[in-house]
């Protein structure tokens, strides 16, 4: 017995491909838009976007199992590794402001010049509505982001040096983290 009826699977809605990351200053005082963005260059491996949902399970002494859940916080964490090793990407990885770079070749390490909150965009190939659709891109826009190092910067004679980064995507003044915009309009799919 077949689990799916003929035609239920649509390979053209699967996404395989590249993504790019751009970072810039915050877009406004309310953090409700992204600013002017600059690409971080080549990214190696995956770009992982993970929702961090914090919940409190409500329990009653009259019941063995929780009877409900309250959402108490929601944000996103994005991890990726930059491959283009220049002084500005090193500063970004180590969470320094651009002012920590003197001239174009010296980065002052220490507690001063810590990075401000920024905005970030991740662009990727969009899924298609039909196999005949032309290619389109979709974007994740995050309004308020703190970038920090997510591991060691390792130098290896047999591989490329990577700059591992974690972006903590925070809520803005309206409690919004960002938005996802699809490159195509999609037919409604109701899950109940």
pLDDT at 130: 67
pTM value is 0.82
% of the chain beyond a pLDDT of 90: 35
State pLDDT tens for residues 47-65: 999 998 899 999 999 989 9
pLDDT at 176: 87
State pLDDT tens for residues 120-162: 999 988 776 666 667 778 899 999 999 998 888 888 888 888 9
- Which of 150-156's residues contact partners 24+ apart within 8 Å by CB, and which partners? 150/79, 153/90, 153/93
State pLDDT tens for residues 79-103: 999 998 899 999 999 989 888 888 8
pLDDT tier, 73 (very low <50, low <70, confident <90, very high otherwise): confident
Q: Which of 74-78, 166-170, 179-183 has the lowest mean pLDDT?
A: 179-183
pLDDT at 80: 94
Please state the three-class secondary structure of the chain as a single string.
CCCCCCCCCCHHHCCCCCEEEEEEEECCCCCCCECCCEECCCEEEEEEEEEEEEEEEECCCCCCCCCEEEEEEEEEEEEEEECCCCHHHHHHHCCECHHHEECCCEECCCCCCECCCEEEEEEEECCCCCCCCCCCEEEEEEEEEEEEECCCCCCECCECCCEEEEEEECCCCCCCCEEEECCCCCCCCCCC
Mean pLDDT for the chain? 84
State pLDDT tens for residues 4-24: 555 566 676 676 677 899 999
% of the chain beyond a pLDDT of 70: 84
Q: What value does the mean pLDDT take over residues 24-28? A: 82
């Amino acid at each position: 017995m077949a689990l799916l009826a003929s035609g239920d699977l649509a390979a053209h809605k699967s996404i395989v491909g590249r993504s790019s990351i751009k970072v810039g200053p915050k877009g406004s005082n309310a953090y409700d838009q992204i600013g002017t963005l600059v690409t971080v260059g080549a990214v190696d491996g995956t770009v992982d976007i993970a929702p961090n949902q914090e919940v409190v399970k409500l329990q009653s002494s009259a019941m063995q199992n929780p009877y409900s859940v309250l959402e108490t916080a929601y944000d996103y964490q994005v991890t990726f590794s930059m491959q283009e090793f220049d002084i500005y990407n090193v500063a970004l990885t180590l969470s320094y402001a651009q002012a920590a770079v003197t001239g174009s070749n010296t980065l002052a390490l220490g507690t001063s010049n810590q990075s401000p909150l920024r905005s970030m965009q991740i662009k990727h190939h969009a899924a298609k509505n039909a196999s005949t659709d032309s290619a389109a891109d979709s974007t994740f826009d995050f309004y308020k982001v703190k970038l920090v190092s997510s591991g060691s910067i390792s130098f290896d004679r047999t591989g490329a040096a990577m700059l591992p980064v974690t972006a903590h995507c925070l809520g803005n003044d309206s409690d919004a983290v960002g938005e996802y915009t699809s490159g195509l309009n999609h037919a409604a799919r109701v899950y109940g």
